[in-house]
Amino acid sequence: MKHIALITGVTGQDGSYLSEFLLAKGYEVHGIIRRSSVDYRERIAHLEGTPHFHLHYADMGDSMSLVKLVDLVQPTEIYNLAAQSHVQVSFDAPEFTADVDAVGVLRILEAVRTNHLEKTCRIYQASTSELYGKVEEVPQNENTPFHPYSPYAVAKLYGFWIVKEYREAYGMFCCSGILFNHESERRGETFVTRKITLAAARIAQGKQEKLFLGNLDSLRDWGYAKDYVECMWLILQNDKPEDFVIATGVQHSVREFTDLAFRHVGIELKFEGEGIDEKGICVSGPEHLVGKALVEVSKDFYRPTDVVNLWGDPTKAKAKLGWDPGKTSFEQLVKLMVEHDMGKVAAEGAAEKVRTNLAEYLEKGIVK
Ligand code: NAP
Ligand code: GDD
């Protein structure tokens, strides 16, 4: 049988890794893109134009576009990754978040039913550890009660339940992966890990003075996105449709992530003070930085309600899917992100220098 995957959210962190993973497995991969005023799709630019990789305009808010696309593509697997995925932004744009992250899931399920593909097309829903929210037990597994604690999480809860409903009502092979935080070199730059690794690189290279963060005590179970997309695929290859927690089983704080990231760029921090007054002071590293507060806390990054104790139990995924939650350790993850961002920041510098030189040469009439 020909394997045809349709990925919503193909331009995102996970969508880009999943595309690579499925193409390597011989799938024909179709992805949904939205019209944007900037046409460069950074994470999938290297895949565009390659055989078996196709992009189509559609939107999670536009039912007709989804129905038509499912008809055109006739997918055997759908990976519904599209979402307004930033928790803090969901407090500012709650209605949009609900439309895309909740009703969008329903639109995908209905597009499959409308095209009579419910017996042949398997559906993966990108669910989230945010469902546990104001956690009722640690660590969290498939039986832990949900307590969503943001507009994002409430929308995703609808997505989780509507997938379960369609599985039971119509016998569809649709499942949710309850994924804990997963990061990478391709992580969006406003999520905390990437914000930290980019800032560490910029501070080490003299291009930023300070990093402002919110709640440093927040605890997360951070894994590597490349390892997690494999699990999305495994969930759809299972003999029956089930929901799975995907996590590493190891928990760290935002402060620990920051400390380790700065160590990798040669800066040792000592954290002093509490709450809003806490500061990360440089105690060893480049001479001009020693004694300076490089990390500070800003209320701007506090959330009206914050999820502070996520810690997943991946026992079921390990046993039933044979997935290895320990493939990439926390230490390896921080290192690979920092190394990537040191290179990125250095390259930005080089490009800037070329631009500055060019401007100067133009001004002096050296080049025309
Ligand atoms: P991401 O990088 O923010 O990517 C989100 C994707 O959704 C982008 O491709 C975005 O397209 C697309 N999208 C947003 N609104 C859309 C709309 N109205 N119509 C069509 N596409 C739309 O997110 P990610 O980290 O890859 O996460 C993938 C999924 O897993 C999301 O559903 C997220 O909520 C969920 N999840 C993520 C994590 C994590 O730690 N990363 C953990 C649990 C669950 P544009 O590029 O055009 O904006
Ligand atoms: N973004 C951000 N920026 N978060 C900060 C900051 C900051 O400056 N300072 C502290 N934090 C804290 C947040 O308050 C939160 O408790 C934690 O760091 C992680 O925040 P994010 O990296 O923004 O991720 P998230 O956990 O809220 O959401 C991500 O993971 C979910 C899975 O648990 C997203 O990828 C969601 O889409 C995903 O569902």
Is 128 annotated as catalytic?
yes
Alpha helices in the chain (DSSP H): 13-24, 63-73, 87-92, 94-98, 104-114, 151-170, 192-204, 225-237, 254-264, 315-321, 330-363
> Which residue out of 8, 11, 76, 128 is catalytically annotated?
128
Q: Rounded to an integer, what distance in angstroms lies between the CA atom of residue 163 and that of residue 243?
A: 10
Residue 54: strand, helix, or coil: strand
Is 152 annotated as catalytic?
yes
Phi, psi of 262 (to 5 degrees): -70, -35
Phi, psi of 318 (to 5 degrees): -65, -50
* pLDDT tens string 118-151: 999 999 999 999 999 999 999 999 999 999 999 9
Predicted local distance difference test score (pLDDT) of residue 360: 65
The predicted model scores a pTM of 0.96
Task: Retrieve residue 30's tokens.
Answer: 């179709």
Residue 15 CA to ligand 1 centre (angstroms): 8
Which residue CA neighbors atom 35 of ligand 1 most closely?
A: 126
Q: What is the mean pLDDT of the chain?
A: 96
Q: Rounded to an integer, what distance in angstroms lies between the CA atom of residue 158 and that of residue 154?
A: 7
Which atom belonging to ligand 1 lies closest to the Cα atom of 8?
21
Which atom belonging to ligand 2 lies closest to the Cα atom of 215?
10
Task: Retrieve residue 55's tokens.
Answer: 């992009």
Q: Which ligand is nearest to the CA of 107?
A: 1
- pLDDT band at 349; cut points 50, 70, 90: confident
- pLDDT band at 39; cut points 50, 70, 90: confident
* pLDDT tens string 218-260: 999 999 999 999 999 999 999 999 999 999 999 999 999 999 9
- pLDDT band at 1; cut points 50, 70, 90: confident
Q: Rounded to an integer, what distance in angstroms lies between the CA atom of residue 30 and that of residue 38?
A: 21
Is 136 annotated as catalytic?
no
Task: Retrieve residue 185's tokens.
Answer: 């070199």
Residue 130 CA to ligand 2 centre (angstroms): 10
